[in-house]
Amino acid sequence: MINEWDFATLAIRAGHERTEEGEHSEAIFPTSSFVFKSAAEAAARFANEVPGNIYSRMTNPTVRYFQERLAALEGGESCVATSSGMAAILAVMLGVLKAGDHVVCSRSVFGTTTVLLQNYMTRFNVSVTFVNLTNLEAWEQAIQPNTRLLFAETPANPLTEIVDIRALADIAHRHNALLVIDNCFCTPALQRPLELGADIVVHAATKYLDGQGRALGGAVVGDKERVGKDVFGVLRSGGVAMSPFNAWIFLKGLETLAIRMKAHGENAQALAEWLTTQNKVAKVYYPGLSTHPQHELAKRQQSGFGGIVSFVVQGGREAAWKVIDATEFCSITANLGDTKTTITHPATTTHGRLTPEQRELSGIEEGLIRVSVGLESIRDIQNDLARGLG
C-alpha cells in the first residue's frame, strides 16, 4: 500500500502507527525510558534479539514516526533523526569516516559545516579539500586514494548554484567514495538525491521541514547499513537524539511540505522576476530565471526552484544595509525556510567569518542580500523591498 502512495499522501500518512487509544493525530511520547514485562524481556531487548523500545536516546515512537515518514519521502531505507542539522552532519562524519580518511567538500556549504570539517574533523586526522561546487573536473581532481566522502549542498547558500547530482555520484562511486547531499534548500518535495545516485541525504529539519521557525532538528537518510547501522550507532553512543516534542512539530511540518514548497516557489519566482526590473539591482540569483547558469539542470533535477532568492544592489554594503533596514515586516534574521520572509546580509553575518579573499572567491559581494521568500502576499513583500530600492 505505502509503496504505491504519492508524495502528498506519504507526507500525511506514512510512519504513524496508531496506539490502542485510537488517537487521530500522532501522539507525543515524552518518556525517557520504556518498561519491560519481565527481566527476560529486558535482556532480550538489550541483546537485540527482539525489537522494541529501550530508551529514548535510541528510539522513541514519536521520533520513529518522523523518521519513517521522512525516509518514505526521500525514498530511503533508513532515517536517523538528530537534535539539529549540524548534529546530522556530525553523525554522518563520525559514522562513516576514520582517521586517515579524506573528504572533498563544496566550498559553498553552510558555514558551520566548513568549520566542522576544517577545525574539528582535522583534529582526528580527517583531511579535507574544498572545491567549487559546479566544477565537476575540480571534484575529480581533488580526489585522493584515501577519499571516502564527497559532500555538497545543492542549491547552495546563498547564490543558489547547482551541481549535477548524478554526475557527482558517478565520480564518487568510480573512486569508492560516498556522496552526501545536504537537501535543505529543496527538501524531498522538490528534489530526491537518493534517486539521482547520492548515498546519504542530510537535513536541517530546522528549515523547511518545520517551515515555521519553531524548533531545531536534523535527519540523515540512506540505506540500512550506513545509516541504519553506522549513523544510528553514533546516535546511540553520541547522544545527538531528537526530542519527541520536536519530532511532533516536524511531523506536522511534513504534512504541509509539498504545498508550502510550491507556494514558496511561486512567490520566489515572482520576486526574482520583479527584482530583475529594478534599476538599483545589479544581479539576481534564482534557479527559476532563464539567466541562471544552471537553469536547465535545475529544470531536470528539481521539480521546483525553491524559495531562496539572492540579489546584489549597486552601492555595496551601505546600499544593501539600506534596503534591509528600510523593510517594515521582513525579518532581519539568518534563519531561512519560514512562512515569514527573512532577509540577510551574508557578507557581514552568515559569511562574516570568511576572509575577504574567501568571500570574493565565493561570490559573496558587499551588495549581496539573501531573501528567504515567505508565504506573505507577494505584493506586500515587493513593496517592503521597494522601500529601500527607490
Ligand X SMILES: *Cc1c(COP(=O)(O)O)cnc(C)c1O
Which residues bind to ligand X, rule: CB under 6 A? 84-86, 110, 153, 157, 182, 184, 204, 206-207, 216, 218
CB-wise, 151 or 232, nearer to ligand X? Answer: 151
Q: How far is the CB of 113 from ligand X (least distance, A)?
A: 6
Q: Output the residue with the shortest Cβ distance to ligand X.
A: 85
Q: The cell 531487548 sits on which residue?
A: 45
Distance in angstroms (rounded) separating the CA atoms of residues 82 and 85: 7
Backbone angles phi, psi at 240, to 5 degrees: -85, 45
Residues 6+ apart with CB under 8 A from 150: 103, 104, 105, 139, 168, 171, 172, 177, 178, 179, 180
Give the three cell numbers for residue 134. Answer: 559546479
- Distance of closest approach, residue 388 Cβ to ligand X, in angstroms: 25
Q: Which is nearer to ligand X, 156 or 347 (CB)?
A: 156
Rounded to a whole number of angstroms, the minimum distance from the CB of residue 64 to ligand X is: 20
DSSP state of 50: S
Between 78 and 342, whose beta carbon lies closer to ligand X?
A: 342
Nearer to ligand X, 43 or 115 (CB): 115
Nearest of 387, 314, 307, 373 to residue 342 by alpha carbon: 373
Q: Which is nearer to ligand X, 217 or 388 (CB)?
A: 217
Q: Which of 88, 300, 50, 275 is nearest to 181 (CA)?
A: 88
Give whichever of 10 and 180 is closer to ligand X, judged by the CB atom.
180
**What's the closest the beta carbon of residue 334 comes to ligand X, in angstroms?**
9
CA 343 to chain centre: 19
Burial of 4 (0-12, 13-18, 19+ CB in 10 A): exposed
The nearest distance, CB 155 to ligand X, in angstroms, is 10
Q: How many residues does the chain have?
A: 390
Cα torsion angle, 333, 359, 389, 162, sign: negative
User: Taking the complex as a whole, how short is the minimal distance between the CB of residue 276 and ligand X, in angstroms?
Assistant: 25
